[in-house]
């Protein structure tokens, strides 16, 4: 409020206004005073809205950048507001919109800024409201890849172990969300082996968003672009190879054996794959008797894998089996005749008189030690004796025939014979000798120069590992008593010879 008085001009203006008919003295007019009141201009103030991104710690009341704006005539003045200047309803740290009003301190602060020339009513300031918005923090998400083993029933979309991972707070925190069949869409979904790509369905996207909560925002475009893989791997199955065998033929190699198979145990049952010589590798392949180890060649492995299809794989490609070439059975005949004149000494076999011929036409050059008398006793007396192969001979011959099993050696035609020694014939001259000159006796022995035939001779067999010992009946007809008869015959022959010699001597004397 201001007091004022009239100036001389003002006094003169008033005197002139009343005219000459009235008198206004100067002194009185000079005493006149008045008041001029300047009242505050009415002005307004406003507060702004603020926002910040959720960080899990900062409350709405701690928002930065809040201001109150006061209009001062043509000018405006901004006042920064801090946490003490505002009152936030339901103050919190979570995402959302929070309303705030000015505190008493803030109202006083604004009125002071306005000064005495402007009027800011406290009620108006108290009614001011602002909004503080906490916006969601940006989150990211990924999906994982998974695998499972083929079982013929489970589709890729039914795979277990699929997860979505939500990363929060700039990737330092993470939430794992299990995904089900309804949460994914699989391209070309199937049960067979292979790699399948999948992306999130609407259900899967919603599930990840729900897991992130309201304080984090997942970009839906990014979620739609997420892809993962599901790989169905082959089921590993057990495979085995069989063992093969065939008889030696001198032509067929072990690798050419027939009947070789790979047997694979599948969930649906056993499956076999026939192998050829191109499908196997045989160590030291040959046509000779023996046991050979074989394994699958690259071609054989490929054949098995093709037969099984892509859904299976064998557990071991280095499996091996055996192929055995067994000896061919060979028969033979031992034949020959060896003779000696009785000399009272045991007979000795000479291999030059005998030969061993096999059924295939081949033969073996025999050695003396290859032969033996069938009864194991070297004969002395006149007779025919069976000859066979000795145990050592059988073993030696078998060793010369590694690819054959020698059996059924026929020895019927192998004979050793001791013949009687020839003596002088009886004298039948016309002399006066009273002797008969002839042997008129009878003998049950053998006639000179003749022996019984060899009968009952068995054949021989030989086994590759253990020679079979064979037995033979004595070569004479009857039994060993025939030897005694032979001796009697020899004695009678000798007596007859003596009688003949006596007759000759008597004849010479008479002359």
Ordered by start, the domain boundaries in the chain are: 2-36, 41-135, 138-233, 236-325, 328-425+451-478
Q: Which of 74-83, 199-208, 240-249, 413-422 has the lowest mean pLDDT?
A: 74-83
The CATH number of 236-325 is: 3.10.430
How confident is the model at residue 363, as a pLDDT? 92
Place of tokens 């082959």: 234
Task: Give the C-alpha separation, 203 to 341, whole Å.
Answer: 117
Say yes or no to pLDDT of 458 above 50.
no
Contacts 24+ apart (CB under 8 A), 126-130: 126/101, 126/102, 127/101, 128/45, 128/46, 128/47, 128/68, 128/101, 128/102, 129/47, 129/99, 129/100, 129/101, 130/47, 130/48, 130/49, 130/50, 130/66, 130/86, 130/99, 130/100, 130/101
**Domain 41-135 coded CATH 3.10.430:** yes
Tokens of 483: 């030897």
Say yes or no to pLDDT of 278 above 80.
yes
How confident is the model at residue 497, as a pLDDT? 42
Q: What is the pLDDT of residues 426-456, one digit of tens each?
A: 444 444 444 333 333 333 333 333 333 443 3
**Percent of the chain at pLDDT exceeding 90:** 66
Write out the CATH class of domain 138-233. alpha beta
Query: DSSP 3-state assignment of 463?
Result: coil
Task: Give the C-alpha separation, 443 to 495, whole Å.
Answer: 12
Mean pLDDT of 211-225: 94
The CATH number of 328-425+451-478 is: 3.10.430.110
Instruction: Say yes or no: do domains 138-233 and 236-325 share a fold.
Output: yes
Confidence of residue 106 (pLDDT cuts 50, 70, 90): very high
Q: What is the pLDDT of residues 390-406, one digit of tens each?
A: 999 999 999 999 999 99
Place of tokens 């590694």: 402
Say yes or no to pLDDT of 457 above 80.
no
CB 340 within 8 A of CB 350: no
Q: Under 8 Å CB-to-CB from 62, ≥6 apart: which residues? A: 83
How confident is the model at residue 245, as a pLDDT? 98
CB 91 within 8 A of CB 103: no
What is the CB neighbour count within 10 angstroms for residue 499? Answer: 17
Q: Mark residue 482 as left, alpha or beta (left: phi above 0; alpha: psi -120 to 50; beta: remaining).
A: alpha
Say yes or no to pLDDT of 459 above 80.
no
């Amino acid at each position: 409020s201001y007091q004022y008085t009239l100036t001389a001009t003002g006094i003169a203006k008033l005197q002139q206004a009343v005219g000459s008919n009235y008198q206004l003295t100067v002194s009185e007019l000079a005493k006149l005073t008045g008041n001029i009141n300047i009242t505050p201009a009415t002005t307004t103030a406003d507060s702004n809205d603020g926002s910040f991104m959720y960080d899990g710690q900062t409350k709405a009341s701690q928002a930065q950048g809040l201001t109150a704006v006061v209009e001062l005539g043509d000018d405006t003045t901004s006042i920064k507001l801090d946490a003490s200047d505002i009152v936030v309803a339901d103050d919190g740290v979570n995402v959302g919109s929070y309303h705030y009003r000015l505190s008493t301190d803030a109202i006083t602060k604004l009125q002071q800024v306005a000064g005495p020339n402007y009027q800011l009513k406290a009620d108006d300031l108290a009614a001011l409201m602002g909004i503080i918005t906490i916006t969601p923090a940006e989150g990211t998400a990924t999906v994982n890849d998974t695998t499972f083993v083929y079982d013929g029933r489970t589709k890729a979309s039914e795979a277990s172990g699929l997860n979505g991972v939500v990363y929060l707070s700039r990737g330092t925190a993470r939430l794992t969300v299990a995904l089900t069949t309804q949460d994914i869409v699989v391209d070309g979904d199937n049960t067979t082996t292979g790699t399948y790509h999948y992306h999130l369905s609407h259900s899967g996207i919603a599930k990840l968003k729900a897991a992130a909560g309201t304080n984090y925002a997942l970009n839906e475009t990014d979620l739609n672009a997420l892809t993962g893989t599901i790989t169905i791997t082959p089921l590993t199955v057990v495979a085995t190879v069989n063992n093969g065998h065939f008889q030696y033929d001198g032509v067929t190699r072990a690798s050419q054996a027939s009947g070789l198979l790979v047997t694979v145990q599948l969930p649906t049952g056993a499956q076999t794959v026939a192998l050829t010589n191109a499908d196997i590798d045989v160590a030291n392949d040959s046509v000779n008797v023996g046991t050979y180890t074989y394994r699958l060649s690259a071609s054989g492995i490929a054949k098995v894998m093709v037969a099984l299809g892509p859904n299976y794989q064998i557990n071991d490609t280095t499996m091996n089996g055996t192929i055995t070439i067994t000896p061919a059975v060979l028969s033979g005949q031992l034949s020959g005749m060896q003779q000696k004149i009785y000399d009272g000494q045991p007979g000795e076999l000479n291999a030059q008189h005998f030969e061993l011929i096999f059924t295939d036409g081949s033969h073996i050059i025999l050695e003396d030690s290859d032969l033996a008398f069938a009864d194991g006793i070297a004969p002395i007396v006149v007779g025919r004796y069976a000859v066979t192969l000795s145990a050592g001979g059988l073993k030696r011959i078998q060793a010369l025939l590694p690819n054959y099993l020698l059996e059924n050696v026929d020895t019927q035609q192998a004979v050793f014979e001791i013949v009687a020694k020839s003596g002088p014939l009886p004298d039948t001259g016309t002399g006066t000798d009273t002797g008969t000159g002839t042997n008129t006796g009878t003998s049950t022995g053998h006639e000179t120069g003749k022996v019984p035939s060899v009968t009952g001779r068995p054949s021989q067999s030989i086994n590759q590992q253990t020679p079979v010992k064979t037995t033979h009946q004595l070569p004479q007809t009857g039994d060993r008593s025939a030897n005694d008869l032979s001796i009697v015959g020899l004695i009678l022959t000798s007596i007859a010879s003596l009688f003949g010699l006596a007759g000759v001597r008597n004849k010479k004397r008479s002359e």
